[in-house]
Structure 1
């Protein structure tokens, strides 16, 4: 049961939530700054958002730091794979857009569709990691893949949310990007709660 829906909320709650999510985004970006810690940072932030939406309150700082510490090593492979995939996709898009490789507009559009779908899949993985306390990337990959294959509309909803977040991030001033990160993460979890990606047992 979502305890956040069990009580009346006013404008002060909205302002408090906005401030909390902004702080979450800033802390996540700072924790991810060394790059190799990005997996742990995103997983821990995702777990915090999951707790917040489930219980109505943020996890204690001690639990969050413990989660971050446990997630450091498991998150490194996720970061490396993510960076490699992103680099290949960006290079492919750049080559198609500048005409350096054949395919033209059709190939460019198809590549954009693939990139969007992969964004949705990546978002599903992040949500699944959050549901299991910020770790378990390997099992999250499997659960997210199964969920997206069984329910394509779920993945499409996450893909749309991720795409909007990326576009907004490209348009706003760089100093606002960390703030946007917290809101984007909350939006992904909100979409996933309306459209469950996979049924999992919390660990």
Structure 2
């Protein structure tokens, strides 16, 4: 006779929600120097990966060690990502205010490009979490190969990232880290349905 699986009750749901909120605040605190954004996201993604694989969060010391190891390469990734985000935001603003010709069609096309890139970036963050919070370049290449083969997963990742960015602009700033933790967890859930292949150990 097999035992029935234990069902999660409201306390488990509340605990999980609190853990994700704390994760978001930890990422926000670690990303305060700005160029530490990518290492912070990588360490958080690795923690979520551990949570999915082992059923428990990694020790704080392990996450701090991951963050420290990821700092040198992660600073460059942060700089590139922030520069790209600034350029795309400036482009959208210029189109929306009419300072750049193109009107509605150009604005819509740019918005689609931004959504596609956000979904791609979200999947890269998940892939980095599967490699101990490092290896951004290799993760970017793996996801770039995987996205055309699995457009549904790519679209779902964009569907997570776009509302998260819109809400981050609309909500009070103190709620943005909480939103970040939830969005990263949602990206891991999307990826779990059809994960990016594991890196070649060679």
* TM-score normalised to structure 1 length: 0.93
What is the RMSD of the two structures over their aligned residues, measured on CA atoms? 1.4
- Residue 174 of structure 1 corresponds to 173
Instruction: Give, in angstroms, the shift of residue 157 of structure 1.
Output: 0.6
Matches within 5 A, 1:120-199: 120-196=119-195, 198-199=196-197
What is the rounded CA distance, in whole Å, between the counterparts of 2:94 and 2:175 in structure 1?
30
- Residue 76 of structure 2 corresponds to 77
Find out whether 1:62 has 2:61 as its counterpart: yes
Instruction: Give, in angstroms, the shift of residue 7 of structure 1.
Output: 4.3
Instruction: Give, in angstroms, the shift of residue 126 of structure 1.
Output: 0.3
What is the rounded CA distance, in whole Å, between the counterparts of 2:114 and 2:48 in structure 1?
25
Instruction: Give, in angstroms, the shift of residue 190 of structure 1.
Output: 0.6
Contact 1:127 1:192 in 2 (8 A): yes
- Residue 38 of structure 1 corresponds to 37
- Residue 117 of structure 2 corresponds to 118
Instruction: Give, in angstroms, the shift of residue 97 of structure 1.
Output: 1.0
What is the rounded CA distance, in whole Å, between the counterparts of 1:148 and 1:7 in structure 2?
36
- Residue 95 of structure 1 corresponds to 94
Structure 2: 5+ residue stretches without partners: none
Contact 1:43 1:129 in 2 (8 A): yes
What is the rounded CA distance, in whole Å, between the counterparts of 1:38 and 1:152 in structure 2?
27
What is the rounded CA distance, in whole Å, between the counterparts of 1:163 and 1:176 in structure 2?
16
Instruction: Give, in angstroms, the shift of residue 202 of structure 1.
Output: 8.8
- Residue 198 of structure 2 corresponds to 200
What is the rounded CA distance, in whole Å, between the counterparts of 1:60 and 1:156 in structure 2?
33
- Residue 21 of structure 1 corresponds to 20
What is the rounded CA distance, in whole Å, between the counterparts of 2:163 and 2:54 in structure 1?
27
Contact 1:51 1:59 in 2 (8 A): yes
Contact 1:132 1:202 in 2 (8 A): no
Instruction: Give, in angstroms, the shift of residue 182 of structure 1.
Output: 0.9
Determine helix, strand or coil for the equivalent of 2:56: coil
Determine helix, strand or coil for the equivalent of 1:97: helix
Instruction: Give, in angstroms, the shift of residue 167 of structure 1.
Output: 1.7
Instruction: Give, in angstroms, the shift of residue 149 of structure 1.
Output: 1.8
**How far does the alpha carbon of each residue in 1:71-117 deviate from its partner, in whole angstroms, 9 at most, with x for none?**
11110111011011111111111111111121111011000000000
Determine helix, strand or coil for the equivalent of 1:78: helix
* TM-score normalised to structure 2 length: 0.93
